[in-house]
Amino acid sequence: MQISFGSLEMMQRVRKDSTLSKVNLFINWEALRPQLTGLYKRESSRAGGQEPFDPLVMFKAILLGQWHSLSDPKLEEALHVRIDFMQFCGLTMSDAVPDETTLCRFRNRLIHANKFDQLLASINTQLQQQNLMLKAATGAVIDATLIESAARPNKTITVETDQDGQAITFDDGSNPGISCAEKTSADGDARWVKKGKKSHYGYRSYVTVEETEGYVCGVHTAPANESETNHFIPAIDKAHITATRVYADKGYASAKNRSHLRQTKIKSAIMHKAQRNKPLSKRQIEANKLISRRRYIIEQCFGTAKRLFGMARASYISTTKVNAQVIMKSICMNLLKAANKILISDVAKGRVRPQLG
């Protein structure tokens, strides 16, 4: 690839110790190429049509969009003007930039091909190879967080009026004819759930992290109103964890979930839940205290995801697309966590290099 003097000069303005520069040092993006091919017919045939953009450029671009919580139009604009975005994606000043429609279609192709779970696992493997993430963590922690839907239901309010068009009210100010009808939401998968005194419309994302540093190992998303207990097994299976113990709160306590862990040779550290006429024993209470001390890492993960990566609200509609969004943000979190481990002196001396093979 030829780079003009103008492009070279502008690329040199990006600090070598910036987070994105560090990420490009320890991730071998070419190793991900096989997982990104086959999304377009033109890749496997000589059919006509426009030549697709490099899938690695596209994948890195949509990661940047999630990293900075950018819409597709804003991401397209940033790829035109931000030098650090260009450098991270491997674009020069003279290269064509994918438009918002192309970015959206590429992301949807990855979703329909069910690629994101595999991409998360592959990037985690590279982090382990670089000793930036433990290869065999002794424990894993699972919990769920609420994700607000991108499309709340519309509501219509009908008020009974008199012949002059004035609202009919009683002495206490109420109206006998007030009715509130909820229309169908554009997001047909999202559901209402009440947590505490507040109602939420959206999803629950079940995230599994390794116990030591909180790297995300797996993501599973479901409508918010569905029982947490029923989604424990799918979430654990998606994570492909190598840990010997799984920590979870009492919302996941069930004989079925504990049995599943035993069958997969994983020790259960699910908190105990009291039942009617069957209070917890002293031993169970002490066990719950010990488990609670280990679960703080997942709360830190959710705090980072919502504070730095805007994961509190979905950008897309449907369970599969919201799940993909949470996985992409999880990849970004893992990359940021790994980049923060690398010293500036190591970057300057070029000591960090991706392992090829």
Say yes or no: 141 and 279 in one domain.
yes
The total of other beta-carbon atoms located within 10 Å of residue 148's CB is 16
Asked whether the beta carbons of 141 and 209 are under 8 A apart, the reply is yes
Say yes or no: 201 and 303 in one domain.
yes
Q: What is the pTM of this model?
A: 0.85
> Which pLDDT score is estimated for 252?
95
Answer yes or no: is 130 within a domain.
no
Angle between helices 19-26 and 319-339 (to 10 degrees): 90
Phi-psi map region of 324: left, alpha, beta (phi>0 left; psi -120 to 50 alpha): alpha
Scored b (16 or more CB within 10 A) or e, 264-289 reads: eebebbbbebeeeeeebeeeeeebbe
Helices (H), ranges, the chain:
5-11, 19-26, 33-36, 55-67, 72-81, 83-89, 100-112, 116-129, 232-239, 255-263, 282-294, 296-308, 319-339, 344-348
Mean pLDDT computed over 121-139: 91
Q: In whole angstroms, give the CA distance from residue 157 to residue 175.
A: 12
Say yes or no: 178 and 279 in one domain.
no
Please, which pLDDT band fits residue 356 given cuts at 50, 70 and 90?
Answer: very low
Strands 198-210 and 191-195: antiparallel
Range of the domain at 59: 5-121+342-348
Say yes or no: 174 and 225 in one domain.
no
The total of other beta-carbon atoms located within 10 Å of residue 347's CB is 19
Note the Cα 186 to chain centre separation in Å.
22
Q: What is the pLDDT of residues 294-317, one digit of tens each?
A: 888 999 999 999 999 999 999 999
Answer yes or no: is 161 within a domain.
yes
Please, which pLDDT band fits residue 354 given cuts at 50, 70 and 90?
Answer: very low
Angle between helices 116-129 and 100-112 (to 10 degrees): 90
Answer yes or no: is 129 within a domain.
no
Q: In whole angstroms, give the CA distance from residue 72 to residue 102.
A: 9
Say yes or no: 275 and 256 in one domain.
yes
Say yes or no: 141 and 263 in one domain.
yes
Say yes or no: 146 and 159 in one domain.
no
The CATH number given to whatever domain includes residue 237 is 3.30.420
**Residue 209, strand partner residues:** 141, 216
What are the Cα distances from residue 347, in Å, to 20, 25, 85, 341? Answer: 12, 8, 19, 11
Q: What is the pLDDT of residues 182-240, one digit of tens each?
A: 556 788 899 999 888 888 999 999 999 999 999 999 999 999 999 999 999 999 998 88
Say yes or no: 43 and 90 in one domain.
yes
Say yes or no: 198 and 106 in one domain.
no
Answer yes or no: is 87 within a domain.
yes
Say yes or no: 239 and 141 in one domain.
yes
Please, which pLDDT band fits residue 92 given cuts at 50, 70 and 90?
Answer: confident
Q: In whole angstroms, give the CA distance from residue 11 to residue 130.
A: 26
What total of structural domains would you count in the chain? 3
Answer yes or no: is 355 within a domain.
no
Count of CA atoms in the C-beta half-sphere (13 A) of 253:
13
Say yes or no: 140 and 272 in one domain.
yes
The residues, ordered by sequence, that sit 6+ positions from 273 with a Cβ below 8 Å of its Cβ are 250, 253
Answer yes or no: is 308 within a domain.
yes
Say yes or no: 139 and 157 in one domain.
no
Count of CA atoms in the C-beta half-sphere (13 A) of 258:
12
Q: What is the pLDDT of residues 244-292, one digit of tens each?
A: 899 999 999 999 999 999 999 999 999 999 988 889 999 999 999 999 9
Answer yes or no: is 336 within a domain.
no
> Which pLDDT score is estimated for 275?
87
Report percent pLDDT > 90 for the chain: 63
Answer yes or no: is 231 within a domain.
yes
Both ends of the chain: CA-CA distance in Å?
Answer: 22
